[in-house]
Every structure is written in structure tokens, then in C-alpha cells.
Structure 1
Amino acid sequence: MSTRPRPSRRHVLGMAAAAPLAASGALALGAGTARAADSAYAMCYFTESTNLGLGTDYGLHLAVSTDGLNWTPLNQNNPLVTPTAGALGLRDPFLLRKQDGTFVVLATDLKGTDWSYNSQYVHVWDSADLRTFTGYRRLKLHDMATHSWAPEAFWDAGRGRYAVIYASVNSSGHNVIMVNHTTDFVTASAPQVFFNPGYDVIDGDMAVGVNGVNYLFFKKNQTVAAARSASLDPGSFTEFGTGVAHGGTEAPTVFRSLTSNTWYLWADTYTPNGVFYAWRSTDLAAGTWTALDQRTYTQPVNSKHCGVATITAAEYTNLLARWGAPAWNRLKSYNYPDRYVRHADYAARIDVYPFDPYTDAQWQLVPGLADASAVSFRSVSHPTRYLRHYDYVLRLDVNDGTAAFAQDATFHRVAGLADPSWASFRSHNQPTRHIRHSGYVLRVDPVTTATDRADATFSVGY
């Protein structure tokens, strides 16, 4: 048996096997049926922070988005539910909208990074609305002395059943994509080999019924590759196209925009607290992808192996009402979008994400200490401390209650100087100066050049 690769932290496709938009604008599912048009997205994931630190949690996390690119974590980025059997933790959760309109959640039965742990089961929950999760159980998929990694499900209309695909090592001695069929996610048929190209593959992710073609995305070596077939029969998929990678890349999640003829491919790196990267395509059949600028998308903090499902406007609103949006924000640099504003040894700077403690980059934007119409930046990890300028350099200091401190720690949010859809922050008591980075250190400086404007522009998100 060949050496098994490190498993992906991949959450599978969440779009009920993302399929084309019907002429009415409704989403055509893998079954070819149409349902009411969705207008938002839900993402499931687990979390790992650098070196498996503070932000690591092997429970089910959810975030929501209106554009599929920028995400609002729910429940303060804490888990909504955690397994109570098996390994007592999950990886690679997957969210499927079933034929009856309700949801099912599947996940790898594994807590942490003990890749030698072999489970023949996957975790399962039912949910009517993603506000409650019921019927927790484990679904047995095989009797082999191996794992069941990164489960995904899709509706197989020809068989009138759901297909559950996952990675296991079979008699070939390497990881292949297996498939079982089920009607209820309580019991499943005997496993079959779904895709075995002759080399190690994990992280199967499906887009079903796209102009009569079914697409399978998967991790091959350190690359996300693709195969396709006119049927959903085991063994019928053939690799095609050009793979994508950004370092060691895994965990593909492919879904279609609800507002344009655009497909998104999300994938992440396999180190703890891996970074998501995203690509776009307007034609899956072409087999090529274009990398997105990191300015255009932001992953939930510490998220790993995401899966995406479409939801209605009412579901989006109800999820925010039930679980709440974060009570903090992160600030992304405009011209260095892989960097976020954080404090380190009480100095304010922009650093490459990820880092620990990740809470050093979380801020509460509170009413300005000197002017309630402005803002002050209170640290989440040091809540008695605020960003303030001192000799034009920003640092994190304890509020001493003086008028001078209040003015130094107050800033007026204005339209982004480099992009009005972003934000810039003008000093309250030095009104000719804005917060900007210089040598990655934050200062308040006059802004005169295009470079200055880019240095002084940030996104306020999560």
C-alpha cells in the first residue's frame, strides 16, 4: 500500500451539486428540477488556526454571504453543533439542499490531525432551516480498514437516490473516490469505486447536469484537477482541462453565481489555518480557470475546507437573526490584500494572514471617543486598549480617560481614497492626515500620491 497523503480539510460543493440557472432564474438542481430562486449563500467549514492554536475547533461552523465572495461568520465564528460520537469532532463538512427543500449535513468523522484514525462512518445531521440541527447519527459506508474522507452528496435523478462520494483506500492501494447510494442518509448501498484514475485522488466535488455534462473536481498531488462524464455511472469520468494550484492546494468547492454566468472554484492550502484561494470561469467545459484578485473575496477567519449552498433571502435573514453577525471586524489592506491590520507588541501594522493570536486582528469599531459620529478601534484581545496615534505612529494603548487620548484614538470613516467601495480613516485631531501603512507599520500621514491613497484604503469585513 502506498503512503497515504495528508487528508484535505476540504468541505465539498454545497450547491446541491451546483447546476445551471434555469431560464426563470431559479437554480436547476442535479435532478433537473427547478426551485425558487435563491439570492444568497451559506458556507460550512471547520476551523484551524496557526499551529492548531486558539482558533481551532472541529465543530460545524456556518457563514453567510450575498455575493459568494465575502462572508459573515455566524455565532461569532463559534460552532453551531459538534459531533457526540465517533472521534467527537469533524472535518470537511458538506451542506446539501435535499429534494424536499430541507438540508442534510455530512462530515468526516475525525477530530484533529490523527491521519491514522480510520472511520468507516461519516457524521450526519438533518436541518429544516440551518437554525436547528436534528437527527444526529453516523452513516456507515464500508467495512474496509480505511477512512471515509470528505463526504459529499448529490441527487442522482437516474437512480432516484442520493449519491455519497468520499475518499478511501481500496484494493488499488491508493486513495480513490468511492460512492454509495441512499434515500435517507440512514442506510446506504454497498460501496463502489466512483473514480480511480490510477493515482491518488481525494476531495471529490461535483457539479451535476451542466449542459448535459457532470463534472468532478478533486485533489491530484498538490493540484485541483477535473474530470467529466455524460453519466453518473461509476468509472465513467475522464480527466480533462488544466488544473489550478497555489502552493499545496486541495479542497475544491465549485458553485455558480446566482447573478451571472460565472462559476467560482474555492480551494485551500493544507497547512493548519490554510488560506483559501479562488478562481473563476464562465465555461466549465473549457477546463480553464482565472485566479481572482484577493481584494474581491475574504474567507471566514480560520476557516478550512469550505462547502457552499445557496439559500433564500428569508433563510439568510433568519440565519443572521438566529445566530448573529460578529461583534468585531477585520480590516484588509487594499494594496496588500493578503495582509490585515493587527497589533503586535502593541504596535499597529499589517501582516500576512494567517497568524496567531488571530484575535490581534479583530477590532470593535465603537463610537469615537472624542466624537460619536466617528469611530474608535477597540482591541478584541485587549479590550481596555484602543488604536491611537502618538508622534504620528499608531499603537495600542490603554484608554487613560484624557481628552488628548480620546482625540488621538478617534477617526472619521470616509470613502476609500483608492476605491470608494472600501474605506479610509481620517484622524480627528490631525484632519489633514489619514491612517495608512508604511513599511507595513500604521501611521497617520498626509495623503497626496496614488501610492499613499492605496496605502490608506482598507476593507471593513469579517
Structure 2
Amino acid sequence: MTTPDTASRPPQPSRRSLLRALAALPAAGLALGELPGLLGTATAAAPARGYATRYTIVPFLNSDDGTVNVYESDDATDFRLLKASAYTPPSNRIRDASVFKHTDGYYYVTYTTHTWQDVSTTIGFARSADRVNWSFLYDYTVPVAGLSRAWAPEWFVDSDGSVDIIVSCSLTSDEWIFTPYLLKATNSALTAWSSPTALTGIGPNHIDTFVVRTGSTYHAFTKNETTKYIEYATASALTGPYTIRRTGDWAGWGGTREGPALIQLDNGGWRIFFDGYGDGSYYCSDSYDTFATWSTPKKLPGISGTARHFTVIKETVSGGTAPATGVTRSFRSGNYTTRYWQEQSALLNLPVVSASSSAAEKQASTFTVVAGLADANGCSFRDAAGNYLRHYDFRGRFDADDGTATFAKDATFIARTGTSSGSLRFESYNYPGYYLRHYNYQLRMDIADGTALFRQDSSFVPVTAWA
């Protein structure tokens, strides 16, 4: 086995869970960039040296739908609070906020303006120059005849640069049956919009429709409001017709899930986030075969139970901290400053190393940093015998390169910023969210749990080599 954890691989009531008690319909018949929609067009790779990946979310709160927090992460797993109550609209509410960065350099959010109980014919807009300080722009009345509710607007930017919003709308004739509509910006200021066009093929009784494009195919993830499962559909045009490809619990995410949002990770895989409103948690799941199969969903640490329904911006920003390649280094623990990485019987441990240590111990604590075997923007670590550090059954260990793609991925790490000055954290390339961390003075691959202790235990300082 080569996985860090083979077993892990293969609340507040939602307004939608309440409203569905008011109506019942048959289920459906058939079982990078910074911009949503462009994610599939760029070659995913770890950020080049001198640059870093940054993910941003702007969720409303489980305890308060009148404001949003801003969180950021460098790995799309461990989101940390950037600013609490960063934006509160001048009136009404803010729910289901979708965020993107426009070509004018501003960040924009669009959002649901009322609670589920109220008629809600508008969607709101705000913008920010820095993701932290937001200004209200306007509320826009969605021009759908007989509109009762306009919910969960989601940004989509197509390959031609056109900016769109997909919004879930219901009519007064049946206020709890939602259909996705497309609005297209008709000016660069995002203040004028085309007439709404229904996305054909997805059909009524679907909400929270989120679309990404790969090549010439549009992929829609949408919640079926009867079954409570997130379904999957494809089309060759943004407005459809879509064909629903997967229904029920096809991905293993379970029911009572909503608000799907996707982003492409540094290793090329796709991550879906969704609100598990039925149990008060927030989840993510990954796919490496263009959405055919998905990993077992895991709760996002830190924000589960607090954050509700969000989308994600991924950006490449300056300031990366990847170690230089082609040099020898030793790696000191960020929080146990007398302890260093050391190879012991092919395993990586964290003993005390000092000037009085033997020459053999110093050599075993010295490693050459090389370009990542699976991604040259990542890094790999080689011992004096030419073996590479890789993860195997939770443990860091050294093995000879067998030339396989699996080994290359197991031996590649993405450098993230650590907690102490000059320290780095090393994330698994093929299991995003898993980090090298010390536990009982052994180096293991564990999934980030959102705690300060984990971040400290997974932080290491590259220093002058002992040998």
C-alpha cells in the first residue's frame, strides 16, 4: 500500500429541508486560474518557486445570515480566519455568497438577499480590492416573470472571458420548485445583465447549480430538491441541453448535501466542497478521473459548524517559500528545536542531533533537496544513498525510485508556509491536506486537523546541513 491512510480513501436546519415539507414531486427520471469556469483550461501544477497558492472563501455563518467571514488557505483544506464579519449588507441578509476575481482587479461577491421564508426577487452585489474590506454595490431584481425567489447565485467565467451568473429561481405558481437560470454580464462593470435564460435539461426542482468547464464540456453539479442528493450533468453549451449523468448517492457523498462548489488543486485533481446542512458539517471530496469517482468525503477542519454555503477562489500569488533545489539541508523541528529529521532503518524520525552527535548520525540527518519527481515545482528529498523520502502506510520512509508514477507522486511534496520564522510545511502531492508531521518523534503523513498544534508539529526549518 502506498496511501497515507488507505481506510480513508476508497446544526442548523436548512431552509430547503423545511421548505420541501411543503411540496412533494417525483424524483428525476434518470438515475486556472482564479476564475470559476476557467479551472479546466489551465495545466495544474504546484506554484513555481517564489510563488504560492492561495484559496479564499467568503461564507455566511451558521449562527448569523446577516454577515460573512473571510477565510484563506494555502492547501484548500485548512482554512484560517482572515476577517470576521468582513461584510454586512446595508439591508436584508447575505446567504450563499459566491466570490470571484474580475479582470478589473476587484473581488466580487453575489449573494441571496433574504431568508428562506421571505419572497426574494433580488440578488446582491459587493466588491473588494483586498478580500478584506467590502463595499455594497447594489441589489439586482432578477427579471423572471412571476418570480418568487432568486437564490444561490453562482459566478461562472467562460473561456471567452464572458462573466455569467447561474441563479436558482422559483415562481409564485410554485414557490418551492427551483430551476437554474443564466444571467450574462453585458458590461465590464457588472452592472447590466442579459435576460435570464433557463438551463435546459437540468429541469425544475434543482437548486445550487455550479458549473465548471473542461475542454468543450460543461459539467454541472446540482442538488435535486426531492432526493436531497447532488447530481451530475454535462452539456456542450453553457445553457444546455444538459444530460443528467449521475443521480442518487452516485459519488458516496450521502444525502442532505447542498451548495456544491469545485476548484482544481495544485496536483491537477478536482475538489468539491459542499454544505452538509443535515449534520451541521462542511465537507470536501476529490476526483482524479474527471468526476467519475470521488474520495470519501472528509469534514473541513476548523470551519465545520461555522461556515455555510460558499465558493472558492484559487490564486497564484508572490511570496512562495519552496526550498532551493540541488543543495543539501538538514531539517529542524519548528517546535522542538533540538530535534531534526533523521533516517533510521529507512524510516524518518526526529531525534535530538547536536554537535556531539556521531558522523553517521549527522550524515543520516542530511538530505539533498531536488525538484519534485512528479512535479518540478514541488520538491523531493534524497538521502546519501540516493533513496527518496516517500509516504508509505502513514510513515515517512526512504526507498529507491522504482520509476513508477505512483512512486514519483508518493515522493513529491508541496512546500507550504510553516508557523515559525523560516519554517515550511510539506504537503503530500497526491493526498492533498496530508502533511509530514512528527508524532512520538516519528515523521508521519497525517491529515490537517485545523489546530495550531498540528501546524506546529508539521513545521520544519531548513538549516545548514549537519554533514
- Both proteins in one fold, TM over 0.5: yes
Within 1, Cα distance between the matches of 2:443 and 2:234? 42
Q: Are 1:147 and 2:149 an aligned pair?
A: yes
What is the CA-CA distance between 1:38 and the residue it aligns to?
6.2
Match of 1:45 among 59, 64, 67: 59
What is the CA-CA distance between 1:300 and the residue it aligns to?
5.6
- AA at the equivalent of 2:75: D
| Deviation readout 1:154-188 (Å, 9 max, x if unpaired) | 12355x63211111114884211011111333221
Within 1, Cα distance between the matches of 2:442 and 2:151? 42
Within 1, Cα distance between the matches of 2:273 and 2:130? 24
Within 2, Cα distance between the matches of 1:269 and 1:149? 18
What is the CA-CA distance between 1:238 and the residue it aligns to?
1.3
- AA at the equivalent of 1:93: A
Q: What SS does structure 1 have at the residue aligned with 2:85?
A: coil
Q: Are 1:205 and 2:184 an aligned pair?
A: no
Within 1, Cα distance between the matches of 2:16 and 2:284? 26
Q: 1:255 maps to what in 2?
A: 263
Give runs of aligned pairs for residues 111-126 of structure 1, distance below 5 A: 114-126=115-127
- AA at the equivalent of 2:56: A
Within 2, Cα distance between the matches of 1:261 and 1:24? 5
Q: 1:226 maps to what in 2?
A: 232
Q: Are 1:246 and 2:260 an aligned pair?
A: no
- AA at the equivalent of 1:307: T
Q: 2:191 maps to what in 1?
A: 186
Q: Are 1:177 and 2:180 an aligned pair?
A: yes
| Unmatched segments (≥5 aa) in structure 2 | 1-14, 21-32, 322-436, 447-451, 457-467
Q: 2:9 maps to what in 1?
A: none
Contact 1:204 1:219 in 2 (8 A): yes
Within 1, Cα distance between the matches of 2:267 and 2:139? 38
Q: What SS does structure 2 have at the residue aligned with 1:239?
A: strand
Q: Are 1:94 and 2:114 an aligned pair?
A: no
Q: What SS does structure 2 have at the residue aligned with 1:261?
A: coil
Q: What SS does structure 1 have at the residue aligned with 2:88?
A: coil
Match of 1:70 among 68, 78, 96: 78
Contact 2:34 2:315 in 1 (8 A): no
Within 2, Cα distance between the matches of 1:120 and 1:309? 26
- Give me the TM-score of the superposition, normalised by structure 2: 0.56
CA spacing shift, 1:14–1:254, aligned 2, 3 Å: farther
What is the CA-CA distance between 1:316 and the residue it aligns to?
10
Contact 1:64 1:316 in 2 (8 A): no
CA spacing shift, 1:187–1:172, aligned 2, 3 Å: same
Q: What SS does structure 2 have at the residue aligned with 1:248?
A: coil
Q: What SS does structure 2 have at the residue aligned with 1:225?
A: strand
- AA at the equivalent of 1:180: L
- AA at the equivalent of 1:17: G
Within 2, Cα distance between the matches of 1:278 and 1:189? 33
Taking only aligned residues, the RMSD between alpha carbons, in angstroms, comes to 3.7
Q: Are 1:83 and 2:95 an aligned pair?
A: no
Q: What SS does structure 2 have at the residue aligned with 1:74?
A: strand
Contact 2:44 2:268 in 1 (8 A): no
Match of 1:417 among 440, 449, 457: 440
| Deviation readout 1:307-358 (Å, 9 max, x if unpaired) | 11013435999xxxxxxxxxxxxxxxxxxxxxxxxxxxxxxxxxxxxxxxxx
Within 2, Cα distance between the matches of 1:203 and 1:24? 26
- AA at the equivalent of 1:146: S
What is the CA-CA distance between 1:189 and the residue it aligns to?
1.6
Q: 1:235 maps to what in 2?
A: 240
What is the CA-CA distance between 1:420 and the residue it aligns to?
4.4
Contact 2:149 2:171 in 1 (8 A): no
Q: 1:61 maps to what in 2?
A: 69
Q: What SS does structure 1 have at the residue aligned with 2:77?
A: coil
What is the CA-CA distance between 1:63 and the residue it aligns to?
0.5
Q: 2:137 maps to what in 1?
A: 136
Within 2, Cα distance between the matches of 1:24 and 1:145? 40
| Deviation readout 1:60-112 (Å, 9 max, x if unpaired) | 2111000001110122xx21010113x2x2110010122334321111102xx
What is the CA-CA distance between 1:291 and the residue it aligns to?
1.4
Within 1, Cα distance between the matches of 2:215 and 2:243? 17
Q: 2:42 maps to what in 1?
A: 22
Within 2, Cα distance between the matches of 1:137 and 1:282? 39
Q: 1:168 maps to what in 2?
A: 169
What is the CA-CA distance between 1:304 and the residue it aligns to?
0.7
Contact 2:165 2:182 in 1 (8 A): yes
- Aligned residue pair count: 299
Within 1, Cα distance between the matches of 2:137 and 2:286? 35
Within 2, Cα distance between the matches of 1:268 and 1:275? 7
Contact 1:4 1:175 in 2 (8 A): no
Within 2, Cα distance between the matches of 1:58 and 1:250? 20
Q: Which runs of 4+ in 1 moved over 6 A?
A: none
Within 1, Cα distance between the matches of 2:42 and 2:108? 23
Within 2, Cα distance between the matches of 1:22 and 1:240? 25
Within 1, Cα distance between the matches of 2:77 and 2:44? 24
What is the CA-CA distance between 1:269 and the residue it aligns to?
1.9
Q: What SS does structure 2 have at the residue aligned with 1:17?
A: coil
Q: What's the % identity of the aligned pairs? A: 20
Q: What SS does structure 1 have at the residue aligned with 2:60?
A: strand
CA spacing shift, 1:418–1:255, aligned 2, 3 Å: farther
Within 1, Cα distance between the matches of 2:444 and 2:196? 50
CA spacing shift, 1:108–1:57, aligned 2, 3 Å: closer
Within 1, Cα distance between the matches of 2:35 and 2:41? 12
CA spacing shift, 1:223–1:180, aligned 2, 3 Å: same
Contact 2:152 2:167 in 1 (8 A): yes
Q: Are 1:264 and 2:271 an aligned pair?
A: yes
Contact 1:26 1:37 in 2 (8 A): no
Within 2, Cα distance between the matches of 1:230 and 1:37? 35
Within 2, Cα distance between the matches of 1:316 and 1:108? 36
Within 2, Cα distance between the matches of 1:266 and 1:200? 21
Contact 1:17 1:155 in 2 (8 A): yes
- AA at the equivalent of 2:155: A
